Structure 1
Amino acid sequence: MSLSGTTNRYGSLAQAFHWLTALLVLIAFLVSEGGPPTRVYSEARASTLLLHESLGFTVFWLLVLRLIWRLFDRVPDAPPMPAWMDVASKVTHWALYALLFAVPATAMLGAWFGGHPVTVYGFGAIGPFFGPWDAGASLADIHGTLGDIILWLAGLHAAAAIFHHVFLRDRVLSQMLPGSLVQRGEMPGRQ
């Protein structure tokens, strides 16, 4: 399979960005317990916080690379669908991109405004550059809410892809699956 996309499929690099981002967001969500800063930044949760912050940092940079790649890569042609579905698809994709930026950004700003450093991959602390201010707790709350929203929106995104596959019988789902799944015939009867 080619790194670049074609008229029918996303390329392997775009697929890798998609699935790796989805996996890392899910893991970051599962390991986060949230709660008041005294619990989040406690010694007992230090390793979980380090993992969560590192995953968020990785998701942020994967998004940057993904958007740069998207500038140069071919996006597959959408199968025929009603205009409202096309608009809903575009709005959902761009909302997911915005959330993939906003969730890590609010986490970093919330930590720094709260007077806490952000530690990534155990290589040392970044910041805090200011604070502690009350805005840190508000940003942390926003971060948690946006984290919930991204999971719900990603679930809706996945449900829509499955709907396209099962009921509309088009290639929306198969164009983002690795080629080996499609080539082995696990996606029969699809365009």
Structure 2
Amino acid sequence: MTTTTLDSADKSPSEYGALAVTIHWVIFFAVIALFASMNYAQELDKADPLRRTFYDWHKAIGTLVLGLAVLRVLWIKIHGAPDLVPSPRFSKVIARISHGLLYLLLLALPATGLGMTLFSGRGVDLLGIPPLLEADKAVACALHAAHGPLFLATVIVVFIHVVGALWHQYVRHDSTLGRMVPWLRAKD
């Protein structure tokens, strides 16, 4: 097996390269920050200025996640992804479906959030994005209505993704998790 390091931008046929791994983990931690910032903001009194700060950070991080998700999808389209490790057919089907859904949700969830902001006649202040669209309350409300269920779907698919990765690591004892966790990679 060819081993790549965090300094390598190329992937071998069996693992992801440094850029793909970095984007994966940045998105992972950003999604946790999005969840935490929204939960904390919603606990604050509406008059508390900190509430607005958390919403501003939520919008900025969500916009960055959208950009990173687009980059990740483009990177995979251009460079491909490693082949799945040998597994039973049902496992490969679940992996392909969950990855496809995860990419779709990582595009749709922040896109609805950004759309909701823009169609509310606001911008993303922390990123210097001005209000770009005429306010349209109906569209903003429709995007808001979609944002919550998309979040719930994302949580479910991420849970499946994590359980699958841990199943590969601790039940199957194969190299799947090591492709995204460099320190778990087998040493030649």
- Give matches, 1:100-119, under 5 Å: 100-113=106-119, 115-119=120-124
Unaligned segments of structure 1, at least 5 residues: 186-191
Judging changes above 3 Å, is the alpha-carbon distance between structure 1 residues 122 and 81 closer, same or farther for their aligned structure 2 residues?
closer
Q: Where does residue 12 of structure 1 map in the other structure? A: 18
1:61-100 correspondence runs (5 A): 61-100=67-106
Alignment of 1:11-160 (within 5 A): 11-33=17-39, 39=46, 43-113=49-119, 115-131=120-136, 133-160=137-164
The number of residue pairs the alignment matches comes to 179
Cα deviation, residue 67, structure 1: 1.7
Assess if the C-alpha contact under 8 Å between 2:121 and 2:135 holds in 1.
no
AA in 1 matched with 2:83: D
Any conservation in 1 of the 2:13–2:82 contact (CA below 8 Å)?
Answer: yes
What's the secondary structure of 2:9's corresponding residue?
coil
Q: 3-state SS of the aligned residue for 2:126?
A: coil
| Residues 6-49 of structure 1, C-alpha deviations (whole Å, 9 max, x = no match) | 122111111001111111011111111376xxx5x985522111
* Superposition map of 1:164-175 within 5 A: 164-175=168-179
- For normalisation by structure 1, the TM-score amounts to 0.82
CA deviation after TM superposition for structure 1 residue 164, in Å: 0.9
Amino acid at match of 1:143: H
Which has more helix, going by share of residues?
2
Report the secondary structure of 1:80's partner residue: coil
Identity %: 25
Q: CA deviation at 1:120?
A: 4.2
Partner SS for 1:127: coil
Q: Distance in 2 between matches of 1:108 and 1:95?
A: 20
CA separation in 2, counterparts of 1:51 and 1:154? 22
CA deviation profile, 1:83-116 (whole Å, cap 9, x unmatched): 1211111111111111111111111222333x34
- Greater CA deviation, 136-145 or 163-172? 136-145
CA distance in structure 2 between the partners assigned to 1:165 and 1:25 by the alignment: 23
State the one-letter code of the partner of 2:53: S
For the residue of structure 2 that corresponds to 1:32, the secondary structure is helix
* Letter matched to residue 156 of structure 2: W
Q: CA 1:70 to 1:120, structure 2 compared with 1: closer, same or farther past 3 Å?
A: farther
Paired with 1:42 and 1:96, the residues of 2 have a C-alpha distance of: 34
The answer as to whether partners of 1:10 and 1:74 remain within 8 angstroms in 2 is no
